[in-house]
Each structure stands twice: as C-alpha cells, then as structure tokens.
Amino acid sequence: MSEAAEKLRADKWLWQARFFKTRSLSAKLITGSHLRVNSEKVMKTSATVKVGDVLTFPQGNHIRVIQVDGIGTRRGPASEAQTLYTDLSPPGPHDISKPFAERGGRPSKAERRTGAQIKRGTLE
C-alpha cells in the first residue's frame, strides 16, 4: 500500500463508515471540535486518520469510542462499513438495538414520570 492509501480525511472516513448520513454532517462535527483522535481534539476536517487510531465523538445521546481497523475505498453497504472499525464504547443503560420485549417491554406510566423527573432534576 502507498502512503496515501493508508490515511484518509477524518470527515470522509466517518462518512464511509456510516456514522453520519452526509459528509457535511461529519465535517460539522469536526469543525465544532467534537472529535478526538487518540485523545487529542481535532478542529480541521483535513485531519487524517489511519489504522489503529481511536476516535471519540458524540452521536445522539451517546459518546462513541471507535478504533479504526481499515481505510475504505468507497461508501459501501453497512456490512462493508462495519469491517472498518471496532466499537469500544461501553453499552448504554438501554441498548436501543434490542427490541422492546428484550429490554423489559414498554415503560409504565410511573416509570415514564420518574424518568421525566430525573431529567428535570426534581426527583427527591
């Protein structure tokens, strides 16, 4: 492999690995200085990532910790994109990848109220 093939722009890699729907969304994350590569803040979309780098960034309500395992050549299907990285993030309290039945079903009205009180900070 050549030197150019071993590195890729951070915004392009995040888009190819299907963390963001568009490349401009991944660029916006980087310019907002929300991406860390090997624990160092990155503020330019032209920053490069290589195999072995660890990326930390927010996605939705979760902080993602991703290890780069490969540099893609295109934005292919999801199965191909999943071979580009290893997810090192700890699972959240409610893993949304599971169906409702496996998570204990839909929350009751009392559980929803308690959750709302926790968010507001009024739970005693």
pLDDT digits 0-9 by tens, 20-53: 999 999 999 999 999 999 999 999 989 999 999 9
Q: Which DSSP category does 40 fall into?
A: E
Q: How confident is the model at residue 1 (pLDDT cuts 50, 70, 90)?
A: very low
Please indicate, yes or no, whether residues 79 and 106 belong to a single structural domain of this protein: no
Give the domain CATH number at 14: 3.10.290.10
Please indicate, yes or no, whether residues 86 and 64 belong to a single structural domain of this protein: yes
Please indicate, yes or no, whether residues 10 and 50 belong to a single structural domain of this protein: yes
Contact between 17 and 85 under an 8 Å Cβ cutoff? The reply is yes
Helix (H) and strand (E) counts in the chain: 5, 7
Q: Kindly report whether the global pTM for this prediction surpasses the value 0.85.
A: no
Domain that holds residue 27: 3-90
Closest CA to 45 of 64, 25, 31, 65: 31
Contact between 2 and 71 under an 8 Å Cβ cutoff? The reply is no
Please indicate, yes or no, whether residues 72 and 112 belong to a single structural domain of this protein: no
Please indicate, yes or no, whether residues 59 and 113 belong to a single structural domain of this protein: no
Name the domain count of the chain: 2
